[in-house]
Structure 1
Amino acid sequence: MKKRGFLFLGISLLALGLSACGLTSNRSDAAALPDASKYEPTLFFHGWGSSTHAEEQMAHSLVNAGLTHTIIRATVSKKGKVSLKGHFREGDYHPIVEVGFEDNHNASSQQWGQWAKATVVKLQRTYHTKKFNVVGHSMGNMAIMYYLRNNNRSLPKLQKQVDIAGHFNGILGMNDEPNRMKLQANGKPEKMQADYKRLLGLRKTYPNQAAVLNIYGDKNDGSHSDGSVSNASSQSLRYLVSGRAKSYQERKIVGASAQHSKLHDNVKVDKLLISFLRN
């Protein structure tokens, strides 16, 4: 009995030790970084049915350009639990966070926005993040917009937003057709889809310290689209943010490589991204 008691005590102490190590590891991420609040991560959000694989070329283009040497990965479960793989490096103030949603076939823009928030909150708790940038492709843009729609002042402050192939006011074949959507002079769509209407509140709440770069593709085949999203749908972002954003600019990519799913692997997009984030 005495031998069994010692064995139980040993196992208990080992478990306690491992638990303590785990707590130390979680607490030390920010504690190990001097001036943790100076770090300004750039979060990449992929599109519907996609993954962090779609973010890799853009992320590595930033590394190759010397903007950072750090790429970590944030995986968000269906229930919104965020796990981080990798760590911020001391002195590398502009790390990249490749965000991956496990439930990537979920059709709810609002749900994607909640997952985006969970990711930002995780970084805030882990690294004491005060400010950040975002890059979205396709549905990833809706994750960003719905995050901002439900934002609150206690969360880190958005500095720069890059939208690529955004379907802010509809998708071809679903609620839009080539050359059908019309925009007024101020960028306001003549007909608004449900998701777009839900985002109209951003005209009064969009963070005024944030600069926006809107990149969209035109296959140059007469459809004025990237094959999945009309240029007008992408450009409708202007009406939602330009009245409050620090700055707003649009860039059109033309040709076969401007197709919707090719834009995140487009060298011209990489160059725009590098220039915008660097400056």
Structure 2
Amino acid sequence: MKVWLGILLAVIVIVVLIFFIGEKKNAKEAAKKDRKPIVFVHGFRGQARSMDTMIERFEQKKWGRREGTCRVDAHGNVTCEKPITLTGNGAPMIQVIFENNTASIKDQGLWMKEVLKKVKATYGNDHVNVIAHSMGGLAMMNYLMNYEGEKGTPKVDRMVTMGSPMKGIEMSRLIEQYPKAAEKKYSEAAVDLQTGSPALEHMYKDPSVFNKISTKMLAIAGNVVDEKPKEPGSPLNDHLGDGTVSVASAWYLKKYIPNLELKWFAVNHFNLHESPAVDAAAYQFLTDKK
């Protein structure tokens, strides 16, 4: 009887130990996930303030903590402010700022490679998440299609694009909503962003390239038209949008990435990164938390 009692106690101890080891492992994995850097990328003619308030709201919600800024000069050299540690709670948030904010999609994609290599080297983290506005989404797609997997680059696990014109834009719409854009309407970025531009045609020249992209993505569109967006691929979505980017363009990658998640919000192009509702959707997608 004593032998069986001893065996029973031993089994109970083993089960309890396995449970606590599992819980500790789960907690460790959750903490590691919370520490995964979130990289914020601005769009055409973007500046520090472009994503600044979104980062502030994430901090207020304790969804992350501002850890620094990575600046890219006109020659593609990257400098990141502030030494970075992984102490504290929430994901470290890094803001990317291009000195040449009207550079080509190709150049910005290459620069994002250097930025993400710097982030990996600084944080020691092999995985990152990204939130990109407008042209920033195109820069990130260029990175994913051409550079991810190269030595020193991290894996982009999840990415949220906000009003990214994957099918291009009509520059007149942008200028109408943002008159200062007229000053750069002949820049490399403005040329690349045009619907049917050589840069965009090249991006979709070989659809098989999209098969190698394993990043989970959420494409957010803005819509200020008093009509709900239709199913992806509907020509009616060409006439709906945020005033600059049509819903069809913001959701265009669905044609090449079937598991692309889609959302839309009743805000204009420049308020996509100022909307608490968009914040919540982005955070929930990146973390699976509500």
Question: What amino acid is aligned across from residue 196 of structure 1 in structure 2?
Answer: L
Aligned length: 222
Q: 2:203 aligns to what?
A: 199
Selected match of 2:136 from 117, 136, 140 = 140
Matches within 5 A, 1:109-188: 109-153=105-149, 154=151, 155-173=153-171
Q: 1:87 aligns to what?
A: 83
Selected match of 1:69 from 58, 65, 68 = 65
CA-to-aligned-CA distance 1:149-189 (integer Å, 9 cap, x gap): 2124232111110000011111124699xxxxxxxxxxxxx
Change in 2 beyond 3 A, CA 1:272/1:203:
farther
Question: What amino acid is aligned across from residue 79 of structure 2 in structure 1?
Answer: S
TM (norm. structure 1) is: 0.72
| Structure 1 residue 251 displacement after superposition | 0.6
Report whether the alignment pairs 1:102 with 2:129. no
Selected match of 2:216 from 211, 216, 219 = 211
Q: 2:45 aligns to what?
A: 49
Selected match of 1:220 from 200, 206, 225 = 225
| Structure 1 residue 59 displacement after superposition | 1.4
Distance in 2, matches of 1:64 and 1:207, equals: 36
Selected match of 1:265 from 260, 274, 279 = 274
**RMSD of aligned Cα (Å):** 2.6
Selected match of 2:253 from 237, 240, 250 = 237
Question: What amino acid is aligned across from residue 262 of structure 2 in structure 1?
Answer: E
Preserved contact between residue 173 and residue 244 of structure 2 (Cα < 8 Å): no
SS in 1 for 2:167: coil
Change in 2 beyond 3 A, CA 1:205/1:238:
closer
TM (norm. structure 2) is: 0.69
Distance in 2, matches of 1:240 and 1:111, equals: 23
Runs of 5+ unmatched residues, structure 1: 1-36, 177-190
